[in-house]
Amino acid sequence: MRTRTETRTRQVPHTVDGKTHLIDEPYEIHLPVPPRDWDHTVRTAVLAAACLILTGSVVWSTASIGALLDLLVIAPAAYAAAITFDLVWISCMALEWLARYDPPRARAPRIAGHIALGVAMTAVAMHGHAEGQLAIGITGAVVSGMAKGLWTVLLAQTTPQLSPQAMQWAQAERAELGSRLGMIPLRRELARAEGLVEAEEAALRTTPDTAPETPENDEETPDDPPTLPSSGPMTMADAVRTAVSCGITDPDAVVRYVRKVADANAKEDSILRTLRMARRAS
């Protein structure tokens, strides 16, 4: 077994003239060296190669497509547009990697990435055809395809495989959390709408009456309720019948009268419903 030497320090007592202090003393220990992780080494080497190939592919396709577009537009605009051809399928590949545990979600970026790659490869081949070097154009287009293929294989090799049961469980958890996240802006929107409704209702309640009724004399004022009977407190129905028999026809006046002589907390809807029944009975 291979070992490596490591120097460490420890504190030991040291006495001079009868006075002792702790001082640092170096010492060496031999630690075992674990065997080399060749899987990690190979994976790192492949990742570095994939990054190098991807960089070369982006440079080649950008230069080729930029030169093709440069025939019609200025160079800065041509090369700025040319780099988007590769950035699109690279971004789609990254989104596919993020959705690796959700196959339905990963399907859309996978299809979009293949379409974007096909468009980029076609544009590179068209540049070769425009320059009279179709074979070179096709060869350059194959570089992008090889870069995409290598990254697809690399991502597949580094993705842990889940059992169907574990994947269904993960999808159920994701759906539950997604529903909770989706309800946050919805609740915020409902709270905002509720606040607007309350503000509107408050504004309507505090708006002064622009055309108040001004009775000509005190005898026509509906606010003056008739004389209370001497038989004691009345029910809401008795108060409504009394108001109708006394000739009070204004619903607001009837409500005020009932709340004054019968029930101060009587609901307006109940009073008006009783009023309609009393009118039909009379």
Pick from 111, 110, 140, 109: nearest CA to 123: 140
Strands 3-16 and 19-32: antiparallel
Q: Which residues, listed in sequence order, are joined to residue 16 by a DSSP beta bridge?
A: 19
In the chain (282 residues long), the average pLDDT of successive 10-residue segments reads 88 90 92 85 91 92 91 89 92 91 88 93 91 89 91 86 85 87 88 85 65 48 47 69 78 81 77 79 68
Amino acid at 110: R
Q: What confidence score (pLDDT) does residue 58 get?
A: 92
Q: What confidence score (pLDDT) does residue 206 get?
A: 60
DSSP string, 94-124: HHHHHTTT-HHHHHHHHHHHHHHHHHHHHHH
Residues in the chain, overall count: 282
139 burial (CB, 10 Å; 0-12 / 13-18 / 19+) is: middle
61 token code pair:
């396709």
Q: What confidence score (pLDDT) does residue 124 get?
A: 92
Q: How far apart are CA 8 and CA 28, in angstroms?
A: 6
Q: What confidence score (pLDDT) does residue 222 get?
A: 46
Q: How far apart are CA 242 and CA 248, in angstroms?
A: 9
Q: How far apart are CA 133 and CA 115, in angstroms?
A: 24
247 burial (CB, 10 Å; 0-12 / 13-18 / 19+) is: exposed
Element (H, E) at 10: strand 3-16
Other CB atoms within 10 A of residue 56 CB: 13
Which residue stretches of the chain are H helix? 38-69, 75-98, 103-130, 134-158, 164-205, 236-245, 251-261, 268-281
